[in-house]
Amino acid sequence: MECNGLILEKREYVFLKRVLNISGYVDDFETQKSLQRLSNELKSAHIVDDCDMPLNVIRFNSKVTVSSDRGWEKTLQVVAPADKDVALSKVSVLTPMGSAIFGNKEGAIINWMFPSGMQELTITKVIQDALEHTMEVVL
């Protein structure tokens, strides 16, 4: 499957929309801007069944290596807000980094505004753990 824009699995899309609806209470202005941009991008996202989800697309619990035009490279895991853990490099989808990369595929180049300014990110690697993609969609 080849498409431009975000690709999301149906249940994860529904979960993310619910989380975004209640995240309007975030105090940080930069985070609010990131979440608004993600919400806007979801309007044109390609939504697929789990069995059709490409392995190279970032979804909940994907392990991702990201490099920046500022010279750094990080490996992290994108998780639901309740599962975030900075010490384990688990980044919430509601952070600017999580919002920037979620639904993008390996090789994507993303320009995103962070609290430290505009950055160009490249998704250099995406690894899926099939056991980790079971999720509760109940809030």
pTM of the model: 0.86
pLDDT winner (highest mean) among 3-7, 37-41, 83-87: 83-87
Contact 128, 55 (CB under 8 A): yes
Report pLDDT for 29.
75
Does residue 102 contact residue 93 with C-beta atoms inside 8 Å? yes
pLDDT digit string, tens, across residues 59-114: 999 999 999 999 999 999 999 999 999 999 999 998 999 999 999 999 999 999 88
Angle 10-22/29-42 helices, nearest 10 degrees? Answer: 140
Which phi and psi (to 5°) does residue 62 adopt?
-65, 145
Confidence of residue 136 (pLDDT cuts 50, 70, 90): very low
Task: Answer whether residue 44 shows pLDDT above 50.
Answer: yes
20, pLDDT greater than 90:
no
Q: Which pLDDT belongs to residue 120? A: 97
Q: Is the pLDDT of residue 133 over 80?
A: no
Q: Please, what are the domains in the chain?
A: 7-133 (3.10.50.30)
Q: What is the mean pLDDT of residues 33-48?
A: 90
122 or 1, greater pLDDT: 122
Would you say how long the chain is, in residues? 139
